[in-house]
């Protein structure tokens, strides 16, 4: 009688935007925030927990009603507290301590919300009101939280009345300050620079070079907690207006910026991108409806915290004829025929099948002296089946810029009426469908998830299963 053991072999993956086929519009939800005014411009959001801060040129009755020399409303910093998933409370002036007769914002906070960096007209004296509109440049100012508000307002040491310096964003460790400026010696109309905090002093600004900047206008930088840089640009290759781009620092240099896909970018101006407290939400500014408004984009595919790593099986089994030992001393040789074109000799044999299926495994006995073969001395119908799991078929290693084919066709979930396949590519993008084409622009290690959902049964119950796979994306050669 043949006895076999299933040898369970897992292929361990060594550590182990954007062009996509299969992406659907219902994966993302973009909505204008209710704090946006129908009559004024609102821009440059900053989100901390349940509070959104932003810049607006709305009239603030009861505090001030100033206008610039050219008649436009001045920008101030405002705030509103989120009351539920869709609503906010009343919009309030952020701080009277920072309000002046000049524009305030865009701005950012340090990681503990005790320091604010904000753009403001450099000269806020009364005589500044009489300057022509382009004669009073923008600079960066810094203020500290005090017991009763904000104080110790001071200029960024590298402000210069000859050019504009603004749109500050400070790294989460407080070490680097990123900003945009039209100072001389740049790549284009305005460039993105950074300054390093060394022993409490900000170093000379460093132009981020042609890896980031272009001959056009590069504005509104935001450095994420993970170190990814987002900014807006009207460079060639975009929509012709401001689009949002991202870049990562890899192997000692910044990678080529990648334009974010729709629905973040549109044919209109899109800029001032930031993440929310919930990592599935991003916030940005767009004038797609006319005025500058605040928008939130939310991914409708939830990334699973409990998702099993996919098991790549080798269908390996050990076969043994338990009665063969009785005649082992006789001049016989044992030959296994595995019904897939492969054979092996010996009382015991380990064989790995390439594919699932039904195989008739046969044991032949060969007389060593005469060469006579006793075919099919014993046989076994052997079923090779796949593990029950969703299945991700894609290369383990990719090259940035190449298009990869993701395929879930080998998913094995018996008894399921599968309704949807969800792909979460771990770079802020997702897709649906049995297959998806994906282009990673940035090198890195990505933990891709495939979430399979069944159609509701008669009782309305829905089943769901998730597997993940590590993908390594190497830099372009």
Distance between CA atoms of 4 and 423, rounded to whole angstroms? 38
**Confidence class for position 174, pLDDT limits 50, 70, 90:** very high
Say what the pTM is.
0.72
Closest CA to 426 of 307, 274, 255: 307
Chain segment 296-331, per-residue pLDDT in tens:
998 777 789 899 999 888 888 888 877 655 555 567
* pLDDT, position 19: 38
The residue whose two tokens read 């101030």 is 76
Residue 218: how many CA atoms within 13 Å on its side-chain side?
30
pLDDT digits (tens, 9 = 90+) for 202-233: 999 999 999 999 999 999 999 999 899 999 99
Per-residue model confidence (pLDDT) at position 60: 66
Separation of alpha carbons 431 and 76, rounded Å? 39
Domain residue ranges in the chain: 33-299, 312-384
Q: Which CATH class is domain 33-299?
A: mainly beta
DSSP classification of residue 17:
-
Question: Which region among 25-39, 392-406, 445-459 has the lowest average model confidence (pLDDT)?
Answer: 25-39
Would you state the pLDDT for residue 6? 35
Q: What is the pLDDT of residue 17?
A: 38
HSE toward the beta carbon, residue 328, CA cutoff 13 A: 11
Provide the β-strand partners of residue 467: 308, 450
**What's the rounded Cα separation, in Å, for the pair 242 and 220?**
10
Burial of 201 (0-12, 13-18, 19+ CB in 10 A): exposed
Quote the CA–CA distance of 450 and 432 in Å, as a whole number.
9
> Could you tell me the two tokens for 323?
């009665």
HSE-CB at 209 with a 13 A cutoff on CA atoms is 6
Residue 399 class from Cβ within 10 Å (0-12 exposed, 13-18 middle, 19+ buried)? middle
Work out whether the CA dihedral 343, 349, 353, 358 comes out positive or negative.
positive
Percent of the chain with pLDDT strictly greater than 90: 61
8 Å CB contact between 304 and 466: yes
CB contact set of 58 (below 8 Å; sequence gap of 6+): 37, 39, 40, 42, 73, 78, 91
Question: 252-278: per-residue pLDDT in tens?
Answer: 889 889 898 888 999 999 999 999 888
Residue where the block lists tokens 């000049």: 102
Residues 19 and 259: beta-carbon distance below 8 Å:
no
Dihedrals phi, psi of 238, to nearest 5 degrees: -95, -155
Residue 380 near residue 318, CB atoms below 8 Å: no
- What token pair was written down for 325? 């030992």
What is 312-384's CATH superfamily? Answer: Immunoglobulins (2.60.40.10)
338 backbone dihedrals φ, ψ, rounded to 5°? -95, 5
- Determine the pLDDT at residue 356: 86
Q: How do 104-109 and 115-121 pair as beta strands?
A: antiparallel
236-266 core/surface letters (b: 16 or more CB in 10 A; e: else):
eebeebbbbbbbbeeeeeebbbbbbbebbbb
Which residue's structure tokens are 């680097």? 176
Predicted local confidence at residue 67, as pLDDT: 53
Mean pLDDT of the chain, nearest integer: 86
Asked whether the predicted pLDDT for residue 103 surpasses 80, the reply is: yes
> In angstroms, what is the C-alpha Rg of the chain?
32
């Amino acid at each position: 009688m043949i006895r076999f053991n299933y040898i369970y072999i897992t292929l361990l993956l060594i550590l182990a935007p954007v062009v996509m086929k299969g992406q659907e519009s219902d994966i993302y939800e973009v909505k204008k925030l209710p704090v946006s005014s129908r009559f004024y411009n609102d821009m440059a959001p900053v989100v901390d927990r349940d509070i959104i801060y932003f810049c607006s040129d709305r009239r603030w009755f009861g505090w001030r009603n100033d206008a610039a020399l050219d008649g436009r409303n001045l920008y101030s910093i405002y705030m509103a507290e989120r009351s539920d998933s869709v609503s906010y409370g009343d919009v309030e002036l952020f701080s009277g301590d920072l309000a002046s007769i000049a524009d305030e914002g865009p701005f950012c906070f340090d990681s503990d919300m005790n320091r604010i960096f904000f753009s403001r007209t450099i000269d806020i004296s009364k005589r500044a009101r009489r300057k022509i509109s382009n004669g009073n440049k923008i600079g960066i100012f810094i203020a500290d939280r005090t017991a009763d508000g904000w104080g110790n307002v001071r200029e960024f040491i590298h402000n210069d009345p000859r050019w504009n310096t603004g749109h500050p964003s400070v790294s989460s460790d407080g070490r680097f300050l990123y900003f945009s400026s039209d100072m001389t010696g740049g790549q284009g109309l305005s460039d993105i620079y950074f300054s390093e905090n060394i022993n409490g002093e900000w170093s000379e600004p460093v132009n981020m070079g042609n890896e980031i900047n272009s001959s056009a206008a590069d504005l509104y930088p935001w450095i994420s907690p993970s170190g990814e840089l987002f900014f807006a640009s009207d460079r060639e290759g975009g929509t012709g207006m401001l689009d949002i781009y991202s870049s990562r620092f890899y192997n000692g240099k910044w990678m080529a910026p990648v334009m974010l896909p729709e629905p973040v970018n549109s044919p209109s101006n899109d800029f001032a991108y930031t993440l929310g407290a919930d990592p599935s939400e991003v916030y940005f500014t767009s004038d797609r409806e006319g005025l500058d408004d605040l928008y939130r984009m939310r991914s409708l595919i939830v990334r699973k915290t409990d998702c099993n790593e996919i098991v790549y099986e080798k269908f390996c089994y050990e076969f043994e004829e338990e009665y063969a030992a009785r005649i082992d001393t006789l001049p016989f040789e044992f030959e296994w025929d595995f019904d897939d074109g492969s054979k092996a000799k010996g009382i015991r044999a380990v064989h790995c099948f390439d594919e699932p299926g039904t195989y008739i495994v046969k044991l032949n006995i060969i007389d060593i002296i005469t060469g006579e073969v006793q075919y099919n001395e014993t046989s076994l119908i052997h079923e090779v089946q796949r593990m029950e799991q969703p299945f991700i078929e894609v290369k383990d290693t990719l090259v940035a810029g190449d298009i990869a084919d993701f395929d879930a066709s080998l998913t094995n979930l018996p008894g399921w009426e599968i309704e949807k396949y969800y792909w979460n590519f771990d770079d802020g993008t997702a897709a649906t469908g049995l297959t998806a084409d994906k282009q990673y622009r940035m090198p890195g290690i990505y933990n891709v998830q495939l979430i399979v959902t069944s159609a509701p049964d008669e009782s309305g119950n829905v089943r769901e299963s998730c597997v993940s796979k590590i993908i390594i994306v190497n830099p372009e050669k």
